[in-house]
């Protein structure tokens, strides 16, 4: 097994902008046949991220193909930040607040996201 850390940045012009988010990636001996296990080390508030940092993303499970590499995984996770799937929540509170917040940039969801961004600067 190989373990490494990665960093993704919050996409520009989004509520995640200027965030520096640390991830842990674990590659088993069966990689690339099986996907890596990826979780956030940075505290996150997002509909598709569990409290322990694990990520609910199709390409890290059933939709995995050995053609995907680290760049695809990290780009997909970065994209997930601004395009969550509240229909398949890992965090029910975040999913509910995200759904309520659509169109309201001052909503509680966005406040909590900005707090995660600010907290990400500490590491």
Each residue's pLDDT tens digit, 54-106: 999 999 999 999 999 999 999 999 999 999 999 999 999 999 999 988 777 67
What is the pLDDT confidence band of residue 3, given thresholds at 50, 70 and 90? very high
What's the rounded Cα separation, in Å, for the pair 10 and 78? Answer: 7
| Predicted structure pTM score | 0.93
Pick the CATH number of 2-71+78-120 from 3.40.50.150, 3.30.1330.100, 1.10.3720.10, 3.10.110.10: 3.10.110.10
**Residues 25, 37: contact at Cβ < 8 Å?**
yes
User: Phi/psi at 7 (nearest 5 deg)?
Assistant: -130, 135
Question: How does the average pLDDT of the chain come out, rounded?
Answer: 95
Told to judge if 116 belongs to the known catalytic residues of this protein, a careful annotator would answer no
**Cβ–Cβ contacts within 10 Å for residue 68, how many?**
17
Q: Out of 15-24, 44-53, 99-108, pick the least confident.
A: 99-108
Domain boundaries, the chain: 2-71+78-120
Q: 35-66 burial string, b = 16+ CB within 10 Å, else e?
A: bbbbbbebebbbbbbeeebebbbebbeeebee
What is the pLDDT confidence band of residue 107, given thresholds at 50, 70 and 90? confident
Question: pLDDT > 90: what percent of the chain?
Answer: 92
Instruction: Find the DSSP H helices in the chain.
Output: 70-82, 92-101, 108-120
């Amino acid at each position: 097994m190989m373990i490494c850390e990665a960093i993704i940045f919050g996409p520009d012009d989004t509520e995640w902008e200027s965030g520096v988010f640390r991830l842990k990636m674990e590659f088993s001996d069966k990689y690339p046949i099986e996907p890596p296990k990826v979780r956030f080390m940075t505290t996150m508030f997002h509909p598709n991220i569990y409290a322990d940092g694990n990520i609910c993303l199709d390409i890290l499970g059933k939709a995995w193909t050995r053609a995907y590499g680290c760049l695809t995984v990290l780009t997909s996770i970065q994209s997930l930040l601004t395009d969550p799937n509240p229909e398949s929540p890992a965090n029910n509170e975040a999913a509910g607040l995200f759904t309520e917040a659509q169109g309201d940039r001052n909503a509680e969801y966005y406040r909590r996201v900005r707090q995660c961004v600010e907290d990400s600067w500490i590491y």
